[in-house]
Amino acid sequence: MIDIWEWFKDKELEYEDQKDKARLAMARSFFSALDLQETNPRAMIAKLRQVRARAKLLGEPWWGFLSEVWLAQAYSCYIGDLREALRQALHCVHESRKLVLREHPWRLAAHNILLGCYVDIDVLGYAAAIRETLYELDREIPAGPNAHRYVMLGYQRRSLIEQGKLRQAEKNALHVLDLLDEDDNDDNSFYLLSPLHHLCWLCFKTKDWERVRAFAIEAEATARTRDTSEADIAVSQIWQATAERQAGDAARAKRLFRKAHERMKPLQAVPGDNYFDAVVAFHELGEDLDLAERAREQQLKVLEGKGQVGLQCDVRIKRCELLARLGRLARRDLDCARKALAPLKAPKAYEKRIRQLEKLMERAAPKASRSS
Amino acid sequence: MNQRRFELHLPGLLKVLAEHLYSSKKVGVRELLQNAHDSCIRRRLEEKDPDYEPRITLSLQPRQRLLTIIDNGSGMTEEEIGSYLATIGRGYTREMRERLSFSSPEEASELIGQFGLGFLSAFLLAEEVKVVTRSFRGGPALLWESRGDENYTLTDAKKGNVGTTVTLRVKPAASFVLQKALLLESVRNFADFLPIPIHWQDDDEPINLMQAPWEADDPEQAILAFIQRVFHDKHPLAVFPLRNAKVSLGHDSLTVPMNGFVYVPAVSVASVREFGDMRVYIRRMFICDRQEHLLPPWARFVRGLIDCPVLQPTASREDIHQDDYFDSVRQALEEQLSQELRKLARSDPPRWKNLVRCHTDVILGWAVRDNDFFDQVKDIVALRTSRGLLTMPEYLKLSGGTLYYVTRELGSLQEQLLAEGRDVPAIDASWFSVEPFLEKYAAAQRKIKRVQLDGEADELLRPAPERPLAPLLAWYAEQGIAARVAAFEPKDIPALMIYPPDAELMKASQDALNKRDDRDKDALSKSMAPLVRMFVSDRLDEETHWQGTLCLNASCPFLKNLAKKQAAPALPSVLRLLYQHARLFCGRLMSPAEAAQAYAEFTRSLQEIVP
C-alpha cells in the first residue's frame, strides 16, 4: 500500500523539479487547507474546494479525490455537521469505485469516514450495519500497523463504548497502542491520541488515577509533536488536571484546566465529545455539578441541528442525570429528552435510562414535599 | 585552550564566490553597473566639482568577445586597488556609506554597494578581466589584470581621463552579453532608475530612464506606461502610489521610507497564483522580481513595485532577507493597501465594483479565511446572481432576507427560473469559495436563512388547491408518474420536475447496490454495502419520490384550460409531452439513454397531435 504522506512528498518534489507551478500551487493549497483544520474549518472547506476545482482543470483525479475525502473529514470532524459529512462521504465512496482511484492510498479512508458518520449519527441504531462493515473492513484493510486500521479500530472502540462494553473498548485501545509501537512510520504517531484519550476516560470510570495521569501525559507529549493538535493538547491537559484534582493538588489542577480552556478559545473547529467528557469528568470529581451541567448544555448547543442524533440523546440524558443529582430535574427536561428520541432507530437503551430518571424523580418528589 | 585560525583556500573560495554565489549570469551586468555608478557618486561627493557630469558608457566588440564598461567616476589609486578591488569582502562604498550615514544620510543613501563581493561577479561573465583606472586624487593610471584565479597583476597604464574602464573577455557561456539587444535589456531591467546616464557607445540618449516613474512630471502616466512595458498589463483596474509610512512596533514606531506603487490587474489568475507579487528595488537598483511575501496573503489580486532602502539584500543581491525590517515594510504595505482599497470603495463605487468583479473569487476565498478581511469586504463584494452582480445588502433587499443559491457547475436554469418567477435573484455559488462565504455571512447574521435551490427548489413553490387540475393528476397517477399541484411563476411554465435533495446520491447508491456483483469492475466493496443499503433504506422510508415529482403549475392558464378538456383526444399526448419536457428541461438524473428515450416519447407525442 502506498503511504499517503510519502506520496505527497514525492509529488511535491516532482512538481518542483519540473517547475510545474500550477500543480505545485495545487499541492501547496492542499497542505495549507489542512493547516486550517482547527483554526478555521470553513476556510479549510473553501480551500479544499479550490483544490478540487484545480485538480479538475489540471486533470488530476487523485488530487481531486483527496480534496473530496478531506471535505468529508472537515464536515465530520471540524464542522461537526454529520448531514453534510454523510453526503460527502457517500459521494467519496461512490467515487472510489472508479477504476482510476482503485489504487488511491486514501480509498479506504473514504470508507472509514462513511463508517464514522454512521457511528456518529446513531451508533446503536445502525449497530448491525456497523458491525457488518467493521467485519468486512477488517478483511479489506491490510493487516499490521497502518493508518486505515487505526481509524477503523477507533470506530470499533467508539461503538463498543456506546454499547457499554468498556472492557472490550479498553482491550481495543491497548491493542492499537501495541500496533503503533510496531509502526515504523513516525507520521502515524497522531493515531495514538484517540486511544490514549479513550483510555483516560475508561480509567477515570474505574478510578485508576495513575493510569489516567500516565495516558494523559503521553497524549499531551504526542499532541505537541504536531502542528494542528491544539484541541488534543487541551483534552490531555484536562485529564491531567482531573488526575491532579484527585491527588489533592487543587492549584495545579485549576492551572492545567485553565490552560486547556485558553487553548480551546481561539479554535473554530467544534470541540469533540472527548473534550466535553473530560471537562465533565473534571467538574464531577470536584463536585462542581453545576459546571458539569453547564458543559453538557454547551455540548448540546454545539450538536444542535447537525445530525448527531444518537449523541444528542445521550448528552441530553447525561444532562438530566446531572440535574437529578443537583435536585433540579424537572418533568420538562425528561419530556425534552424523550422527544429527542424520535429520530432514533433503536431508542430502547435511552428510554430505559429516561425511565430510571423518572423513577428517581418520583422517589425524590415525596421527600421534597415532606421536607417542605 | 589553544585558539587557531581558519585556513583559507583562496582558489576554492574565489570559484565559489564567482560561480556559485549568483544564480544568474545576468547579475554580473548589474554588479558592474553598480560599481560604475558608485564610483561616479563617490567622485561627485568627494571632489565636489560643480561641473562634474557623471557618465557610464558601454561598448561591445563581439568578434573579440569583449565587453567594456567605462565610467568617469573616482577611479582608484594603487592603495585602493590593493585594499578594495583585490580584497574580498571589503568595499569602499560600504565604508563610505557608514562614514556618511550620520553626517549626510541623504548622500549615503545614493550609494548602492554593500558587500565588497560584486566585482567577483565579473568572472561570471568573463574568463579574463582588465581594469584600467586613474584616480581623481592623482597618481598614475594603472592596469589591473586577472583570470579569476588567486593571482592578479598590476602595472602602469596609459589613460588620460579620470575614471575606470573595465574590459571583459566574455566566456562562451555568457555570450548573451555580446548581443547588443540582450545587453541593453539587462541594463534597462537593472538600472532604469539609476540617476547616472548609461550610454551605448557614443549615443547621446542614455539607455536608462534615469528616473523612477513616480518622479516623472506626470507620475500617473509614467507609472501606467511602466506597468504596460514591464508587467505587460495594459489596463490596470486601480493603481495606488506608495509613500513613506509609519508602522507601530508596539513599544515604538518606525517610518518606513518607500516609493513605488501597487496595482490591481484587470485579469484574475486565481487558478494558478497563490500570492500577490512585488518587484523589488533597493536604492533604485533592481533586486528581484515576483517577491511573494511582501504583500499580505489576502492581496493575491495585487502586483506592484517597491523601492525601499531598509530592505536588506542577500549577499548575491538577488533576493531580500525576511528580517524585522522586512516585516515592517510588509506591515506598511498592508496598511496602505487596505486604506486605499477602502477609500476606493467609498469614493468610486463603480470602479470598486469592477475591481471586485474581476477578482471576486480570490477576494471571497480570502474573506472566508480571514475574519478581519471578511468584515472589510463582506458587504462590498458583488456576487454573480441571475440579475448580474449584486452586493449582499443589495441582494438581501431583493430577496427579503434569504440567500437563494445554486451550486451545480452545469448551471441550474430551472431553479434560477423559479427564483426569478418569485422575483428573487439566485446567487451562482458554483465556484469554490462562494458557498462557504454565504455560510459565513449567514452565520454572522443569524436572521439570514440560506436556501440551496438545487435540492430545495420546493422553497420556491407555493401550495395550491388540487381540484382545478384534478383530472390531470388522475391521468398521471394512472401512468405511475408522481405529480402534484403547486403555484409558481412565471405563469407560462406548465410543469416542472422537482427532485428531492440527495436524489443524485440515491440514484448512485441504488445503482451500486443493484450492481453488487464482484465481477463488476466498479462494484461496491463488501464493507460499504451495508452502509449504502442503510442510506437507501432510510430514505425510502421517507416516502419521498426519488424519481422526481412533476409539479403542475396552478397559475398556468393553459393548464387550467387543459384540465377542462378531458375529452380531447390529444390530451394524453399533451400530458406526456409536458412530462417529458419537464424532465428534459430539468436536466438532472438522466443517463444519455434515458434522455434519448424521453426524446423518442416527446416526438411520438408530437406525431400523435400532428400526424
Q: How confident is the model at residue B272 (pLDDT cuts 50, 70, 90)?
A: very low
Does this chain's domain B213-331 share its CATH topology with B354-459? no
Q: Comparing B116 with B445, which gets the higher pLDDT? A: B445
Pick from B159, B164, B167: which is nearest to B128 by CA? B167
Residue A284 has pLDDT above 90, yes or no: yes
Residue A10 has pLDDT above 70, yes or no: yes
pLDDT in tens, B74-98: 999 988 887 777 666 666 777 777 7
Q: What is the pLDDT of residue A372?
A: 46
Contacts of A25 in chain B (CB under 8 A): 272-274
Closest chain A residue to B441, measured at CA: A42
Q: Comparing B273 with A12, which gets the higher pLDDT? A: A12
Residue B350 DSSP symbol: H
Give the CA distances from residue A320 to residues A274, A332, A358, A367, in Å, rounded to whole numbers and listed in that order. 19, 10, 10, 19
Q: How confident is the model at residue B271 (pLDDT cuts 50, 70, 90)?
A: very low
Give the CA distances from residue B162 to residues B31, B74, B75, B202, B273, in Å, rounded to whole numbers and listed in that order. 21, 7, 6, 18, 50
Q: What is the pLDDT of residue B292?
A: 83
8 Å CB contact between B73 and B43: yes
Residue A300 has pLDDT above 50, yes or no: yes
Residue B14 has pLDDT above 80, yes or no: no
- Does a structural domain hold residue A5? no
What count of Cα atoms within 13 Å lies in the side-chain half-sphere of residue B332? 27
What is the side-by-side strand order in the sheet with B303-307? B238-241, B259-264, B303-307, B277-282, B285-291
Average pLDDT on A79-86 reads 94
Tell me the torsion sign for CA atoms A233, A234, A238, A239. Answer: negative
| Domains in chain B: boundaries | 11-200, 213-331, 354-459, 464-609
Residue of A19, A49, A151 to mutate, testing the B interface (most B Cβ within 10 Å of its Cβ)? A49
The architecture (CATH level 2) of B354-459 comes to 3-Layer(aba) Sandwich (3.40)
Residue A179 has pLDDT above 70, yes or no: yes
Q: Domain containing A53 — which CATH number?
A: 1.25.40
Q: What is the pLDDT of residue B410?
A: 52
In angstroms, rounded to a whole number, what is the distance separating the alpha carbons of residues A360 and A365? 9
Cell 562614514 -> residue = B99
Contacts of A31 in chain B (CB under 8 A): none
In angstroms, rounded to a whole number, what is the distance separating the alpha carbons of residues B438 and B448? 10
Q: What is the pLDDT of residue B356?
A: 78
The CATH class for the domain spanning B213-331 reads alpha beta
Interface of B with A in 532-561 (CB under 8 A): 532-535
Contact A22 B509 (CB under 8 A): no
Average pLDDT on A268-281 reads 95
User: What is the residue type of B363?
Assistant: I
Average per-residue pLDDT in chain A? 92
Contacts of A93 in chain B (CB under 8 A): 524, 528, 531-532
| Residue A57 contacts B, CB cutoff 8 Å | yes
Question: Which residue range(s) make up the domain with A59?
Answer: 14-122
Q: What is the pLDDT of residue B258?
A: 93
Q: In terms of CATH, what superfamily is B11-200?
A: Histidine kinase-like ATPase, C-terminal domain (3.30.565.10)
8 Å CB contact between A133 and A115: yes
CATH number for the segment(s) B464-609: 1.20.120.790
Average pLDDT on B234-243 reads 92
Q: How confident is the model at residue B567 (pLDDT cuts 50, 70, 90)?
A: confident
Tell me the torsion sign for CA atoms B92, B94, B99, B101. Answer: positive
Q: How confident is the model at residue A338 (pLDDT cuts 50, 70, 90)?
A: very high
| Residue A34 contacts B, CB cutoff 8 Å | no
Which helix or strand (DSSP H or E) is residue B561 part of?
helix B557-563
What is the side-by-side strand order in the sheet with B549-553? B462-463, B483-487, B549-553, B495-498
Q: What is the pLDDT of residue B116?
A: 57
Pick from A122, A126, A127, A129: which is nearest to A309 by CA? A122
DSSP character string of A23-91: HHHHHHHHHHHHHTTTT-HHHHHHHHHHHHHHHHHHT-HHHHHHHHHHHHHIIIIII--HHHHHHHHHH
Residue B185 has pLDDT above 50, yes or no: yes
Q: How confident is the model at residue B590 (pLDDT cuts 50, 70, 90)?
A: confident
In angstroms, rounded to a whole number, what is the distance separating the alpha carbons of residues B334 and B415? 41
Cβ-Cβ pairs closer than 8 A, A with B, add up to: 99
In angstroms, rounded to a whole number, what is the distance separating the alpha carbons of residues B194 and B212? 8
Residue A315 has pLDDT above 80, yes or no: yes
Pick from A283, A233, A198: which is nearest to A206 by CA? A198
Report how many domains make up chain A. 1
Average pLDDT on B177-185 reads 90
pLDDT in tens, B476-504: 999 999 999 998 888 889 999 988 888 88
What is the pairing mode between strands B56-61 and B462-463? unpaired
Q: How confident is the model at residue B516 (pLDDT cuts 50, 70, 90)?
A: low
Average per-residue pLDDT in chain B? 85
Q: What is the pLDDT of residue A213?
A: 96
pLDDT in tens, B374-419: 887 888 888 888 888 888 999 999 998 999 988 875 556 787 787 8
Length of chain A in terms of residues written:
372
What is the pairing mode between strands B549-553 and B495-498? antiparallel
Q: How confident is the model at residue A135 (pLDDT cuts 50, 70, 90)?
A: very high
